[in-house]
Amino acid sequence: MSNRVCHFKLVLLGDTAVGKSCLVVRFVRDEFFEFQEPTIGAAFLTQTVALDDATVKFEIWDTAGQERYRSLAPMYYRGAAAAIIVYDITNPDSFAGAKSWVKELQRRGDTNVVIAMVSLWEFGKNAGNKADLESRRKVDFNEANAYAEENGILHMETSAKNSNNVRALFVEIAKSLPKTIQQPEREAFPIMPQKQESRNCC
């Protein structure tokens, strides 16, 4: 909630059908489709998050999780300020996939990239008919948490289906982005030339 807008590139990575697109669609359009088509390509959308001290405008790349497109991912995570790596708590393979994405990013991505690991999880009372997700849980929350902590990355369980934690996730990421060094200095309008004070941030 501020007058300063910082632009950040954010990329979503993770195996196919873990819910990347659903997460983005929930965040950007506040919608959810039970039958979200697999992403064949890379979808681009923007969305703004207002913080107390700055406004963060995410330029989001939602990538294709299918294995055959994996080699194309660097095109999107290159230069990204943040990455959300998604896995599905009912699918241990997707968690292994997430770990390998973390490794790849640590190896090849920007050193300053903010990484968040996210899994789909319906919790709380509005879980609806997918409440059984918890019973099908195959990835232990604590295990994932420990892994995230070890690697210094954000870890959250969200639900695109019932909105849980979706906005919070992006707000968390926005908060942890370095808003001071990211962009060139901006100055005041020259209406008060004698009082101009250069500031960092966007």
Partner 1 sequence: MNMNDADWLTSGPQNSNAGQQQQQQQQGWAMPPTGTGTGTPAPGQMLHQQQHQYNPQPQPQPTMANYPPRAVSMTSSSFTTSSSSLNNNNNYGSRTPPTAIATSNTNSTNYNSSNRSINTTPTPRTTMKTPASTTSTNNNSNNNILVANRAADEETEDGRIRNREASTKIRDAWIYKQIRSRQDEFTQYKQGRVFIGTWNVNAKGKDESLSSWLCADWQQHGPPDIVVVGFQEMVDLNAVNVAVENKSQSRSAFWIDRIRATLNSRQNTQGDPSRSYTELAVKYLVGLLVCVFVKSPHKPRVKYVHTDSVGVGVMGVMGNKGGVSIRLQFYDSTLCFTCLHLAAHRENVTGRNADFANVYNKTSFEIGSEAVQEMIRLGSMSQWAMGTASVGVPDHDLVFWFGDLNYRVDESIPTERVLQLSEAGMLDELIEHDQLNVERAAGRVFHDFEEGKLEFKPTYKYQPGTDMYEQRPDKKLRAPAWCDRILWLAQEPGHVAQMNYLRSELNCSDHKPVMSTFLVTIKDVILAKREGVYREVMQMLDTYENNSLPMVSLDKLNLDFGLVRYDQRVTLPIVIANTGEVVAQFRLAPKVDENALCKPWLTVSPTYGMLIPGEKTEIELTITIDNSTAHRLNTNREVLDDVLILRLENGRDFYISVSGQYARSCFGMSVDELVLYSDPIRDVPLDPILRAEKYDLNSKAAMCVPKELWRIIDAIYERGLDERDLFTALGDPDEVCVIRECLDTGAPFGKFSVHSVAEVLTLFLSNLISPIVPVSIFPTLDIDAQNIQMFTRKFLEDMQPIQYNVFIYIISFFREVLLHREKNRLSPAKVAR
Which residues contact partner 1 (rule: CB under 8 A)?
A: 1-5, 28-29, 40-48, 50, 53, 55, 64, 68-69, 71-72, 74-75, 78, 184-192, 195-199, 202
Instruction: Provide, rounded to whole angstroms, the least separation between the CB of residue 27 and ligand GTP.
Output: 12
Partner from partner 1, ligand GTP, Mg ion, none binding residue 177, C-beta < 5-8 Å depending on class: none
Q: Which residues bind ligand GTP (CB under 6 A)?
A: 14, 16-22, 34-36, 38-39, 64-66, 86, 120, 122, 130, 133, 159-161
Query: Which own/partner contact pairs does 71-80 have at CB distance under 8 Å and 24+ positions apart?
Result: 72/42, 73/13, 73/104, 74/108, 75/42, 76/11, 76/42, 77/11, 77/13, 77/105, 77/108, 77/109, 77/113, 78/109, 78/110, 79/9, 79/110, 80/9, 80/10, 80/11, 80/109, 80/110, 80/113
Among 6, 14, 21, 58, which residue sits at the site for Mg ion (rule: CB under 5 A)?
21
Query: Which amino acid is present at 142?
Result: N
CB 121 within 8 A of CB 169: no
Residue 50 Cβ vs partner 1, minimum distance, rounded to whole Å: 5
13 or 148: CB nearest Mg ion: 13
Sheet holding 55-62, edge to edge: 55-62, 5-13, 82-88, 114-120, 154-158
> With respect to Mg ion, which residue has the nearer C-beta, 20 or 70?
20
* Count of residues that interact with Mg ion, criterion CB under 5 A: 3
CB of 105 to ligand GTP, least distance (A): 16
Per CB under 5 A, the segment of 20-28, 48-56, 134-142, 157-165 that binds Mg ion is 20-28
Q: Which stretch binds Mg ion (CB under 5 A): 14-22, 52-60, 132-140, 178-186?
A: 14-22
Spatial separation of the C-alpha atoms in residues 85 and 188, rounded to whole Å = 38
CB of 116 to partner 1, least distance (A): 20
Cα–Cα distance measured from residue 21 to residue 48, given in angstroms and rounded to the nearest whole number: 17
* Phi (first) and psi of residue 5, to 5 degrees: -110, 125
Q: Is 39 one of the binding residues for Mg ion (CB under 5 A)?
A: yes
